[in-house]
Amino acid sequence: MHGHDDVPGVFVFPAAEQFAYAGTTHLAIGGRAHVQQAIASADTAIRLYRGAEADDQSVGDLFAASPAACPLELPT
């Protein structure tokens, strides 16, 4: 998930967006380990979005990565 392609295109995503997608994928897979990874990926996505250049910020992706968008109750 690091670096950019030599020629950008429609499949080039900023790192924050990659972590947001990883988080939603882990959440969809389910299971405690994947949910924990989803939370970690979402936290990273939010941190990266907040520090990103304006062109790399996506309000929709930031909302999707936000715990408010998908509150989780994990079994203890």
Selection from 49, 48, 72 nearest residue 60 by Cα:
49
14: left (phi over 0), alpha (psi -120 to 50) or beta: beta
Report pLDDT digits (tens) over 30-63.
999 999 999 999 899 888 888 877 776 666 666 6
Q: Whole-model pTM?
A: 0.64
Structure tokens belonging to residue 5:
């392609």
Q: With CA atoms as reference, report the closest residue to 17 among 71, 67, 73, 56.
A: 56
pLDDT at position 15 is 84
- CA–CA distance, 56 with 65 (Å, rounded to integer): 15
